[in-house]
Amino acid sequence: MQFIKSLIFNFFLYFGLILIFILAIPTLILPDRFTIFFGRLSAKYIVLILKLVMNTKVIFHGKENLKKVDHFFVASAHQSMFETFALQIPLNGPIFILKKELFNIPLFGWYLRKIGSIAIVRETTTKENLNFFDKIKEKLEESKRPLLIFPQGTRVKLDEQPPFKKGVGRIYKALNLPCIPVALNTGKIWPKNSFMKFSGDIHISFLEPIMPGKENEEFTIEIERKIYTEIKKYY
């Protein structure tokens, strides 16, 4: 039965997303807010079919923490592709930092560029990476939207706890902004690289902001501890 539900869900997932992406093509020549609207529409569509097909609810916790500071960036745990869509709902079109390969995907890559996403070539030193922090600051000043990063560097299983990448501390120091950590359990419902999806509740928690002023390493240790401690509640 779980296989059949997963089959139905995946059909509606990819059919619906392709349709939304096609409908959104005209927004590529319009102001960013139109493209961002379709991004949020995609997220709400996925939340809907999760509920209807998989009997899965998506619950956001701690949204009041987003109102405690005017300007901030978000550092989220990363367990599935779902959070890259879902976080667009409460964050209203964040700016993503993503691996460069994603920008080469037809349609999807075009939209990433349109909404101001920033590409990074991982594990290398390139001319593009050298002015990386300048790009981030420029995008944030232009858009007035929050930055969203995934400090684990890749999707991991729910119970995996790899050390966070050092880059999250560098971003924190360079931006001099509060950071809102995000813990979640999406990997329990939507496992990495798996056709199967499962029923249950998806929890996405916005934790207390970490204010600027800490040293890179101190910040990285604190945010890693906060996120992994919260995730343990969802095992």
CATH number at residue 97: 3.40.1130
> Which pLDDT belongs to residue 52?
97
> Which pLDDT belongs to residue 126?
46
> Which pLDDT belongs to residue 124?
53
Tell me the three-class secondary structure of 27-85, residue by residue: HHHCCHHHHHHHHHHHHHHHHHHHHHHHCEEEEEECHHHHHCCCCCEEEECCCCCHHHH
When the pLDDT of each residue in the chain is averaged and rounded to a whole number, the result is: 92
d(CA 222, CA 233): 18
Tell me the Ramachandran region of residue 89: left when phi exceeds 0, alpha when psi lies from -120 to 50, beta otherwise: alpha
Using the 8-state DSSP alphabet, how is residue 210 labeled? Answer: B
pLDDT tens digit string along 29-72? 999 999 999 999 999 999 999 999 999 999 999 999 999 999 99
Beta partners for residue 202, in sequence order: 58
> Which pLDDT belongs to residue 165?
93
pLDDT at 125 over 80: no
pLDDT tens digit string along 65-85? 999 999 999 999 999 999 999
- Residues of the domain holding 179: 2-234
Task: Decide: helix, strand or coil at residue 217.
Answer: helix
Q: How many CB atoms lie within 10 A of CB 55?
A: 12
Long-range contacts for 81-85 (Cβ within 8 Å, ≥24 apart)?
A: 81/155, 81/190, 82/46, 82/186, 82/189, 82/190, 82/202, 83/182, 83/184, 83/186, 83/204, 85/39, 85/42, 85/43, 85/46
Our count of domains for the chain comes to 1
> Which pLDDT belongs to residue 134?
83
Q: 142 pLDDT band (50/70/90 cuts)? A: confident
User: In the structure encoding, which two tokens stand for residue 93, read together?
Assistant: 């079109």
